[in-house]
Amino acid sequence: MFQVIVMWNLARPDQELSDVVNNIKLRGYSRETFITGEFAWKIAEDKIKPLSVSDIADKYCPTRRDLYFKKGVNRLTGRDRRGVDTWGSKAGYFVEEYIRKIIESAERDGMNTNVNYTNIIEMSDDSHNNYININKRVLEELNNLEETEPSEEGNTEWLIKLLKGNGRAEFALNYLNEILKEDMSVTDEKVLLGKSIDVSDGNLRLDYIKQIGINLPATPDFIIPKYGIVGDIKTGIEFKPHFQLTCTGYALAYENVKGEGNNINWGIIYFFPTRNPSLFRKSITFAQVYIFPIDDYLRREFLTKRDEAYSIISKREPPNLPKENEREYCKYCRFKNFCIRNGLEVER
């Protein structure tokens, strides 16, 4: 996360790309972004469930059967609705919590002017070892998933090594920012972690949901309101373009709830590769930071996907199975077994 701060302070996109964000029209408080009356009515009458930002943005299944199983009018019930754990999903939660703990450790330990690489490594490794010891059960679950679903190509041992290296980099970047920061710089105390976007009056919550079609409370991984930034932590094999739509959804939700004068112009994706593209190559990789303006192009794309998602969950039947040439994600899907019962064939 400190990498996010350093990269923003170096890139200064608010200066380099100010002309892009000054022309944004599709704000969350603009009527042009509101959902149609049909869907608003169905939400108000509890005919359909409101969708979260991730429900709308995180498109993995090309036909959105996974979304229907979770939120469709004839969705799955009970525990089936959550699907089964996969190595990738479990690793994602593990990584996100690890990154949050780094920030807590760095803030608690502080930094002095006599820090060197050895000190950084010692502080980071102490934080790393503590986290690993506390989460031994999660690591056992990851190892079990690795054995039961080898097609996912998860590697828990290598993931731990990647996290250790990334933790050291984060501690070092925190120290670097302490040395280089200026009055105008973003610092860690300006970053709000896990701060929910919501309304103080719970009776008004449904009114906002009916407008923008995003369930509340909505909780981005981090937000920096003073600089108009919202961010999300993502994991996986490679960066996916739809990751940017997650930030877009949170921006629209924030603007809708907070109103005019509280614009979110920038999105940041902190992407941590949890798996190597090849089992035969062991590359030490670090988190990648993607900074981008949340312009009208992204906003329009999110709104289109939002309307498509509500249309899908409103139907009586789930979407068709993906075509044979569109099933590369199926082996990672929580609902794979349900689709197999319906005739899906997946390579083992």
pLDDT tens-place string over residues 232-241: 999 988 899 8
> Which has more confidence, 184 or 106?
184
Residue 231 is predicted with a pLDDT of 96
More confident call, 149 vs 188: 188
pLDDT at 106: 76
pLDDT at 348 over 60: no
Residue 114 has pLDDT above 80, yes or no: no
Q: Is the pLDDT of residue 277 over 60?
A: no
Domain membership of residue 176 (yes or no) is: yes
Place 279 in a pLDDT band, splitting at 50, 70 and 90.
low
How many domains is the chain built from? 1
What mean pLDDT comes out for the span 201-229? 94
Q: Is residue 317 part of a domain?
A: yes
| pLDDT computed for residue 178 by the predictor | 87
Task: Give the pLDDT of residue 265.
Answer: 97
Please check whether residue 2 lies inside any domain of the structure: no
Does the residue 1 lie in any domain? no
User: Residues 103-112: what's their mean pLDDT?
Assistant: 72
Residue 348 lies in a domain: no
pLDDT band at 276 (very low <50, low <70, confident <90, very high): low
Mean pLDDT of 24-47: 96
Q: What does the pLDDT read at residue 249?
A: 98
Q: What is the 3-state secondary structure (H, E, C) of the chain?
A: CHHHHHHHHHHCHHHHCHHHHCCCCCCCCCHHHCCCHHHHHHHHCCCCCCECHHHHHCCCCCCCHHHHHHHCCCCCCHHHHHCCCCHHHHHHHHHHHHHHHHHHHHHHHCCCCCCCHHHHHHHHHHHHHHHHHHCHHHHHHHHHHHHHCHHHCCCHHHHHHHHHHHHHHHHHHHHHHHHHCCCCCCCHHHCEECCCECCCCHHHHHHHHHHHCECCCECCCEEEHHHCEEEEEEEECCCCCCHHHHHHHHHHHHHHHHCCCCCCCEEEEEEEECCCCCCCCCCCCCCEEEEEECCHHHHHHHHHHHHHHHHHHHCCCCCCCCCHHHCCCHHHCCCHHHHHHCCCCCCC
Q: Is residue 311 part of a domain?
A: yes
Instruction: Give residue 315's pLDDT band: very low, low, confident or very high (50, 70, 90).
Output: very high
Domain encompassing residue 60: 7-340
pLDDT of 154: 82
Residue 346 lies in a domain: no
pLDDT, position 243? 95
For 112-122, what is the mean pLDDT?
84
Mean pLDDT of 271-295: 84
273 belongs to a structural domain: yes
How high is the mean pLDDT of the chain?
A: 91
